[in-house]
Amino acid sequence: MILRCTARMLDVLGGRAVALTESRPAEDDWYVNLVWVDGKKCLLLTHAGTLFSIFVAGVRKADLVPFGPYVVSAVVEELRSEGLPTDALGHLDADAVRLAKTASRSTLGFMNDIAAHCRFEVAHAGGLVHTDTSALNHRLRRTLNNHRGYAYPVERVAERLDAHPQSTARARRGSGNRGED
């Protein structure tokens, strides 16, 4: 699992002390950004191929060491919350996580839009303490985007499962989640 980290995220992880891989960008890479929301450190994770995104509120630096298990746990939890198999977005192995620099401006642009959306939702709810992050994540994955044609991230995951039936337990909660929440 490749985690493509923004410079801000790499600084938190130890800056120059972090060993980075030079692997080529791939659809199964995850992009990771550290965003400040309501005065707290938060993570924004986005899968490169589907733009399936995860907002993790109130992260402490101590939570991020080691980084692989923390991220994999967050991804697994959100996939399960959507009724998706845990391998729907590639093999998740906390011990095999490698870090790299970001490689896609369009993915970063999408993440910036999502970060602004999260800041708005948190402010609208009255702060992080009053924000239902599960509901926020649910809505993020049902936010229409134009990354290779208009689609919702959760639908892109469903399409991926249909294209790769070898994924475990193709059972998923209704694929007709077109933002009607």
Count CA atoms within 13 Å of residue 40 on its CB side: 17
- Span between the terminal Cα atoms of the chain, in Å: 32
- CA–CA gap between residue 139 and residue 131 (Å, rounded): 13
Q: What is the mean pLDDT of residues 21-25?
A: 89
The parent domain of residue 148 ranges over 2-163
Query: Per-residue confidence at 22, pLDDT binned at 50, 70, 90?
Result: confident
pLDDT at 89: 93
In a domain, 172, yes or no: no
pLDDT tens figures, 71-124: 999 999 999 999 999 999 998 999 999 999 999 999 999 999 999 999 999 999
Report yes or no on 35 lying in a domain: yes
**Predicted local confidence at residue 49, as pLDDT:** 93
- pLDDT tens profile 141-181: 998 888 778 899 999 999 889 887 655 444 443 444 434 33
pLDDT in tens, 53-63: 999 999 998 88
Tokens linked to 51: 């733009």
| Alpha-helical runs (H) found in 95-163 | 105-125, 133-140, 153-163
84: left (phi over 0), alpha (psi -120 to 50) or beta: beta
Please state, in angstroms and rounded to a whole number, the distance separating the CA atoms of residues 174 and 151: 16
Which of 45, 26, 176 lies closest to 110, judged by CA?
45
Asked if 140 and 53 count as a contact pair (C-beta separation under 8 A), the reply is yes
Instruction: Please indicate, yes or no, if residue 169 is contained in any of the structural domains.
Output: no
Secondary structure percentages of the chain, helix, strand, coil, to 5: 40, 15, 40
Q: Domain total for the chain?
A: 1
Query: Among all chains, which residue has been given the structure tokens 């801000």?
Result: 8
Helix (H) or strand (E) segment spanning residue 10: helix 7-13
Q: Look at residue 81 and tell me if it is in a domain.
A: yes
- Residue 33 included in any domain: yes
CATH code, 117: 3.30.420
How far apart CA 84 and CA 26 sit, in angstroms, is 21
For residues 143 and 154, what is the distance between their CA atoms, to the nearest angstrom?
9
Look at residue 38 and tell me if it is in a domain: yes
For residue range 62-84, list pLDDT tens digits in order: 888 889 999 999 999 999 999 99
Residue 181 is assigned to a structural domain of this protein? no
